[in-house]
Amino acid sequence: MITIVDSGIANLGSVLAAFRRVGAETRVTRSAADVESASALVLPGVGAFKDGMDSLRQHGLAEPLRQAVGRGTPILGICLGLQLLADASEEFGTHDGLGLVRGRVVRLAPRNAGERVPNIGWCDVRVKPNARVFVGVPTGSCYFVHSYYLRCAQASDAVAWIEFGGGPVTAAVERGNVFGTQFHPEKSQDIGLAVLHNYVRIADTIPT
């Protein structure tokens, strides 16, 4: 059972449809109790960082999320959901995140022709060979919509990148039971579905 956290700022319908397509049972929740009892969590999100954190705090979900993940419950953050896992973000001021992945969320700095902010569209993703959510996933491009990205404090946490502004930009993170994608797997067709399918399988094998 995949517990999808409804922070009130996500494209829940698309995320749900994608998890159903890969055969997962799902439930959507705003309740702290459900987060605490979850066997696997998904934190989707679109919009601004501060709105996202405010919403989690308002619903009393920030601390339960931290504790559940601390106990070993797997979590997958998607897009803004990934950024919320970080220590802090520089989007419109500096704001604290959930602190589940070391690093700060910083603005994309375009440098090459054709690069725009927000970066919207299909970008080629380079993947670290042993990244767990990419096992057996065909190489190719994924769908991104973002103006900020997570600059990991520990290089080993980043497991996928796109090229932007003359260097690598984090496209996915993995650290123990914490996973995140800057791209939208639910909108990235066969590759995205394969990533979600992998997460579902990983979640099944992590004892909680």
Partner 1 sequence: MTTSSAVRPRVIPVLLLKHGVIVRSQLFTVHQVIGNPMSTVERYSQWNADELIVLDIGQGEDHHDLRRDDLQQSYPGTSAIDVLLEIAKVCFMPLTFGGRITAIADIESRLAAGADKVTLNTAAFDNPRFVEQAARRFGSQCIVVSIDARAEASGWQVFVSGGRRPTGLDPAEWAREMQSRGAGEIFLNSIDRDGSGVGYDLALLGHVTAAVSIPVVACGGVGRYEHFAPAIRDAGAAAAAAANIFHFFELSYPHAKRACEEAGVNVRPVRLGSRLLPREPEYDRDFEDRKIAARLRQAREEDYPAARPDAARRRRPIKWCTECVYPSISAAPLEFDEAGVCTGCQMARMKATIPTSEWTRRRELLKALLEKYRCRDGSRHDVVVAVSGGKDSYFQVHMLKEEFGMNPLLVTYDGNNWTDVGWRNMLRMRESFDVDHILVRPSVATLKKLNRLAFVIMGDMNWHAHVGIMTVPMAVAAGHRIPLVFYGEHGFTDLCGQFSMDDFPEVVYRGRLEHYARGYEWTYFVGRDGLTERDLALYRYPTDRDILDLDLRGLFLGNFVYWEANEHIRLVTERYGFEVSDEPFDRTYRRMSNLDDMHENGAHDYLKFVKFGYGRATDHACKDVRAGLMTRERALELIAHYDPVKPRDLQRWFSYVGMTEDEFDRIADTFRDPRVWRRDGGRWLKDDPASGPVERAPRAAERGKA
Work out which of 36, 37, 47, 175 binds partner 1, going by CB under 8 A. Answer: 47
Looking only at residues 164 through 183 of this chain, which bind partner 1 when binding is defined by CB under 8 A?
Answer: 164, 166
Nearer to partner 1, 88 or 145 (CB): 145
Q: Is 146 a catalytic residue?
A: no
Q: Is 184 a catalytic residue?
A: yes
Distance (Å) of CA 50 to CA 9, 57, 58, 84, 163: 11, 11, 12, 9, 26
The size of the interface with partner 1 (CB under 8 A), counted in residues, is 42
Residue list 134-153, contact with partner 1 (CB under 8 A): 138, 140-141, 143-145
Q: Which is nearer to partner 1, 161 or 179 (CB)?
A: 161
* Closer Cβ to partner 1, 59 or 73, answer by number: 59
DSSP the chain: -EEEE--SSS-HHHHHHHHHHTT--EEEE--HHHHHH-SSEEE---S-HHHHHHHHHHTT-HHHHHHHHHTT--EEEETHHHHHTEEEE-TTS-EE---SEEEEEEE----STT--SSEEEEEE-EE-TT-GGGTTPPP-EEEEEESEEEEESSGGGEEEEEEETTEEEEEEEEETTEEEESS-GGGSHHHHHHHHHHHHHHHHHS--
Write out the binding residues for partner 1, residues 74-103 only, by CB under 8 A.
none
* Binder among 103, 183, 192, 200 for partner 1 (CB under 8 A): 192
Is 95 labeled as catalytic in the residue annotation?
Answer: no
Which of 14, 29, 31, 39 lies at the binding interface for partner 1 (CB under 8 A)?
A: 14
CB of 22 to partner 1, least distance (A): 6
Chain residues binding partner 1 by CB under 8 A are 11, 13-14, 17-18, 20-22, 47, 112-116, 118-124, 126, 138, 140-141, 143-145, 162-164, 166, 184, 186-190, 192-194, 197
